[in-house]
Structure 1
Amino acid sequence: MGNFRNLLIWQKSMVLVTKIYEVTQAFPKEEAYGLTSQIRRCSVSIPSNIAEGYGRGGDIELKRFFGITLGSLFELQTQIEIAYNIKYIDEATFKKLYENTRELEIMLMSFINKIKHDS
């Protein structure tokens, strides 16, 4: 079955986490325990849950963890939109991050649907 690191979806989610950390470094210091922390935590949970689900073995566990991952991804999409709305990120940054999350969303949904049909 290989290693979770070989999954393109995990690799892309790791790139996204790095981008999120870079972008949130510019957030106001008073957000350190607010939006900054929340955005970082849910972005980190995306590759973490992919890895954990993959490591659990079996389609049922993988599907469950990919569902959790999808929830974290939707949470991240909401939070980057909030950051854009309150002018913490500019439109170009928002669009790029959102595109990255949408790509992961499509990949995750495809994975989940494949698991449903294979089970």
Structure 2
Amino acid sequence: MDGKNFRQLRVWQLGMQLAEDVYRLANGFPKHETYGLRSQIERAAVSIPANIAEGHAIGSTKDFARYLGIAQGSLAELETHLMLAQRMQYGNP
């Protein structure tokens, strides 16, 4: 792509920070949500920087754009899960 390592991409760095914040938040969820909403939230959060990294590593602009779209979809999924967690009064989203 542009010669940068994915770790240098600001969007990847922000995605990693978001994933870290989400994991910390999810630690406060009720025990019965370990394999439910908590798991879904954590998977959606980590999917964002993972797809950015994977798309960048492939090398083509077209593929990178496709993976950015997938990351954007994961972000919308995460937002939906966090809205539900807020409605359920889990943690403090």
TM-score (norm 1): 0.74
Counterpart residue number, 1:22: 24
6, 9, 13: which one aligns with 1:7: 9
Where does structure 2 lack aligned partners over 5 or more consecutive residues? Answer: none
Aligned residue identity for 1:21: Y
User: 1:2, CA displacement in angstroms?
Assistant: 1.2
The share of aligned pairs that are identical, in percent, is 45
1:13, CA displacement in angstroms?
Answer: 0.7
Count of residue pairs the alignment pairs up: 91
What's the RMSD between the two structures over aligned residues?
0.7
1:58 aligns with 60
User: Structure 1, unaligned stretches of length 5 or more?
Assistant: 95-119
Quote how far apart the aligned CAs of 1:25 are: 0.5
Structure with greater proportional helix content: 1
Instruction: Determine the C-alpha separation between the residues in 2 that align with 1:10 and 1:60.
Output: 18
Aligned partners of 2:66, 2:4: CA distance in 1, in Å?
20
Match of 2:48 in 1: 46
Structural mapping, 1:1-119, within 5 Å: 1-90=3-92, 94=93
CA shift for structure 1 position 79? 0.5
Q: Within 1, Cα distance between the matches of 2:79 and 2:91?
A: 13
Cα distance in 2, alignment partners of residues 2 and 84 from structure 1: 37
Match of 1:105 in 2: none
- The structure whose RCO (Cα within 8 Å, separation 6+) is larger is 2
Query: What amino acid does structure 1 have at the position aligned with 2:42?
Result: R
1:89 offset after TM fit, Å?
Answer: 2.9
